[in-house]
């Protein structure tokens, strides 16, 4: 992210917004357009950018109608009219069904991204453009700063990344993170383009709205510089941890991590913390990193002079051996699920299972019963404690798959089991791409899609 000029009345060069994005090989690109100033400016800037290119993918504008306000349907049709005039294809996607009584904003965001990803699949593309602005970035920083001051991680102070990978499939790209909302509104005003304001953006019951109002009295330039610094430090730390994972960590059968204690001790504190945090999250099937205090306790255990001993933390066992620490899922709170024919499910945050048979399958931990059923033939480096909490697939009461046993148990035709990394597979910040690629490689998994944003030019 570049520190923006202070003159909000300047015009915007579309090339400065989009040149860092690789549109090559795309047949289409989805633009999320709500009808507000930010997303409409994004759409018209993209149309202008396309006019200067020899070739460009098809632009498809998508409006998600959450159905939470009486005006939302009218706003969606307002966008449809603008797109028709501009010669842009437009689709309205509705959030149907009941709405939750609590956590509505988070649920609405999840549904919005789910619908946008569906639109991307239908359009045969893996790119969605979203209109998050510099104002949104600063507000995000302030909200996360408050959480960090209460003991939370400082990684979030890097703000939103210019690109985020959703479900290992679609990149959500934010080209306007360097541009203020007022600059975008002046761009629209100069072209006679109206927009619709969402009244909830002025509702003080929302934390972001309260912060937005407070920031009107603050010079935010220092915050922007701090965001840039935090983003740079986050990527640099990720690079160091990625190198350590490649050299000093071994993953066995996707269920057990072994870390060189001597090599870990030699690392700087930030690297040590992120190494154990990443391993606890991936072994424990968590979609977020453990609290800092838990990482410090784990490090105290691993880096001690003790030759043996174990602690449990964040759904993991951390077992000391002479030269290494072994981290694996503890045998507690293990779920049992059933998957209908043609169903797909995530089990324990660690495995993605597909059932293409015509029968119900059941998934649970292997446990002692499973070990007994599978017999005495085990793969190399078999580790009984971690195998107990490994996945077992049951069909008609019999185990037909147990990844911890390698080829010992063969899956029935139509059943697929893939190691799932909850930390990255649903939402992968572009800041963490290098780290995620290293983790995927350690688990012998397919790598993540490369970001379409040139970070050197963009940040």
Q: DSSP letter string over 125-164?
A: -SEEE----HHHHHHHHHHHHHHHHTT--SGGGG-S-SEE
C-beta separation of 43 from 88 below 8 A: yes
User: Which residue spans within 66-116 are E strands per DSSP?
Assistant: 89-94
pLDDT for position 100: 83
Please state, rounded to an integer, the average pLDDT across all residues of the chain.
90
User: Coil, helix or strand for 21?
Assistant: strand
DSSP string across 387-413: HHTSEEEEETTEEEE-GGGGGGSPPPT
Kindly state whether residues 143 and 54 are assigned to the same domain: yes
Domain count, the chain: 3
Kindly state whether residues 40 and 102 are assigned to the same domain: yes
Q: Which residues contact 433 (CB under 8 A, 6 or more apart)?
A: 165, 448, 450, 451
Query: Which H, E and C letters describe 168-204, residue by residue?
Result: CCEEEECCCCCCCHHHHHHHHHHCCCCCCCCHHHHCC
With cut-offs at 50, 70 and 90, classify the pLDDT of residue 7: very low
Kindly state whether residues 292 and 161 are assigned to the same domain: no
pLDDT for position 234: 97
Residue 257 has pLDDT above 50, yes or no: yes
pLDDT average, residue stretch 327-331: 97
Note whether residue 7 is domain-resident: no
Kindly state whether residues 382 and 309 are assigned to the same domain: no
Sheet of 324-329: strand order equals: 249-252, 256-260, 324-329, 316-320, 309-313
Note whether residue 451 is domain-resident: no
Residue 65 has pLDDT above 70, yes or no: yes
pLDDT average, residue stretch 381-406: 84
Kindly state whether residues 323 and 349 are assigned to the same domain: no
Note whether residue 9 is domain-resident: no
pLDDT average, residue stretch 183-207: 86
pLDDT for position 8: 44
pLDDT for position 14: 97
Note whether residue 5 is domain-resident: no
Backbone angles phi, psi at 311, to 5 degrees: -135, 160
Note whether residue 452 is domain-resident: no
Residue 179 has pLDDT above 60, yes or no: yes
User: For the chain, what percent of residues have pLDDT higher than 70?
Assistant: 93
What span, in angstroms and rounded, lies between the C-alpha atoms of 311 and 385? 14
* Size of the chain, expressed as the number of residues it contains: 459
pLDDT for position 375: 72
Q: Which residues contact 16 (CB under 8 A, 6 or more apart)?
A: none
With cut-offs at 50, 70 and 90, classify the pLDDT of residue 410: low
Note whether residue 281 is domain-resident: yes
Residue 403 has pLDDT above 80, yes or no: no
Kindly state whether residues 34 and 18 are assigned to the same domain: yes
What span, in angstroms and rounded, lies between the C-alpha atoms of 367 and 361? 17
Lowest-pLDDT range of 127-131, 265-269, 409-413 = 409-413
Kindly state whether residues 324 and 177 are assigned to the same domain: no
Q: Give the CA distances from residue 144 to residues 62, 125, 153, 227, 317, in Å, rounded to whole numbers and listed in that order.
A: 29, 32, 9, 11, 30
Residue 139 has pLDDT above 50, yes or no: yes
pLDDT average, residue stretch 139-156: 83
pLDDT for position 150: 65
> Cα–Cα–Cα angle for 218, 34, 193, nearest 5°?
80
Kindly state whether residues 238 and 222 are assigned to the same domain: no
Higher-confidence residue of 115 and 408: namely 115
C-beta separation of 133 from 42 below 8 A: no
What span, in angstroms and rounded, lies between the C-alpha atoms of 402 and 443? 16
| Domain closes at, from 173, 201, 228 | 228
What span, in angstroms and rounded, lies between the C-alpha atoms of 240 and 117? 32
Kindly state whether residues 116 and 19 are assigned to the same domain: yes
pLDDT for position 211: 84
Kindly state whether residues 323 and 193 are assigned to the same domain: no
Lowest-pLDDT range of 20-34, 79-93, 389-403, 442-456 = 389-403
User: For the chain, what percent of residues have pLDDT higher than 90?
Assistant: 73
pLDDT for position 456: 57
C-beta separation of 338 from 361 below 8 A: yes
Sheet of 391-395: strand order equals: 337-339, 361-365, 391-395, 398-401
Q: Which residues contact 101 (CB under 8 A, 6 or more apart)?
A: none
With cut-offs at 50, 70 and 90, classify the pLDDT of residue 119: very high
**CATH code, 188:** 3.40.50.620
Kindly state whether residues 246 and 163 are assigned to the same domain: no
Instruction: List the domain range (segments joined by +) for residue 372.
Output: 337-419
Lowest-pLDDT range of 75-89, 109-123, 346-360, 389-403 = 389-403
What span, in angstroms and rounded, lies between the C-alpha atoms of 354 and 33? 34
| Domain closes at, from 207, 228, 249 | 228
Q: Is the pTM of this model over 0.85?
A: yes
Note whether residue 364 is domain-resident: yes
pLDDT for position 265: 96
Kindly state whether residues 195 and 60 are assigned to the same domain: yes
Residue 39 has pLDDT above 50, yes or no: yes
Higher-confidence residue of 97 and 255: namely 255
User: Coil, helix or strand for 36?
Assistant: coil
Residue 1 has pLDDT above 60, yes or no: no
What span, in angstroms and rounded, lies between the C-alpha atoms of 183 and 173? 20
| Domain closes at, from 228, 262, 278 | 228
């Amino acid at each position: 992210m570049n520190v923006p000029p202070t003159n909000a009345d300047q015009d915007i060069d579309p090339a400065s917004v989009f040149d860092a994005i690789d549109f090559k090989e795309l047949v289409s690109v989805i633009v999320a357009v709500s009808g507000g100033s930010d997303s409409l400016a994004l759409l018209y800037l993209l149309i202008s950018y396309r006019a200067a290119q020899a070739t460009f993918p098809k632009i498809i504008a998508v409006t998600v109608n959450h159905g939470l306000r009486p005006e939302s349907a009218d706003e969606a049709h307002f966008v449809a009219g603008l797109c028709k005039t501009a010669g842009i294809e437009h689709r309205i996607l509705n959030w149907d069904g009941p709405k939750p009584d609590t956590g509505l904003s988070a649920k609405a965001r999840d549904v919005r991204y789910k619908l946008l990803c569906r639109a991307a699949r239908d359009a045969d593309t893996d790119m969605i453009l979203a209109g998050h602005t510099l104002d949104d970035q600063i507000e995000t920083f302030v909200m996360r700063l408050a959480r960090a001051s209460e003991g939370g991680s400082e990684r979030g102070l890097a703000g939103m990344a210019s690109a985020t990978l959703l479900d290992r499939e679609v990149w959500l790209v934010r080209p306007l993170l360097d541009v203020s909302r007022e600059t975008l509104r002046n761009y629209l005003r100069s072209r006679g383009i109206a927009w619709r304001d969402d009244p909830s953006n002025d509702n003080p019951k929302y934390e972001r709205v309260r912060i937005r109002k407070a920031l009107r009295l603050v010079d935010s330039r220092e915050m922007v510089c701090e965001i840039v610094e935090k983003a740079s430090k986050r990527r640099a730390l990720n690079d160091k941890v990625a190198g350590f994972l490649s050299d000093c960590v071994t993953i066995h059968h996707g269920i057990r991590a072994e870390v060189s204690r001597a090599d870990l001790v030699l690392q700087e504190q930030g690297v040590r913390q992120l190494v154990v945090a990443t391993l606890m999250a991936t072994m424990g099937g968590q979609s977020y990193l453990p609290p800092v205090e838990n990482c410090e306790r784990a490090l105290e255990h691993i880096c001690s002079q003790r030759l043996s001993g174990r602690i449990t933390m964040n759904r993991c066992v951390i077992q000391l051996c002479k030269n290494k620490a072994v981290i694996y899922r503890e045998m507690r709170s293990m779920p049992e699920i059933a998957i209908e024919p043609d169903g797909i499910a995530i089990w324990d945050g660690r495995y993605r299972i597909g059932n293409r048979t015509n029968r119900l399958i059941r998934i649970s931990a292997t446990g002692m019963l499973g070990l007994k059923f599978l017999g005495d033939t085990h793969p190399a480096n078999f580790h009984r404690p971690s195998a107990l909490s490994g996945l077992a697939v049951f069909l008609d009461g019999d185990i037909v798959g147990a990844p911890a046993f390698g080829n010992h148990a063969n899956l029935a035709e139509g059943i697929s089991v893939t190691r799932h990394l909850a930390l990255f597979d649903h939402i992968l910040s572009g800041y963490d791409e290098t780290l995620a690629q290293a983790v995927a490689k350690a688990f012998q998994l397919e790598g993540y899609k490369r970001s379409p944003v040139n970070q050197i030019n963009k940040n």
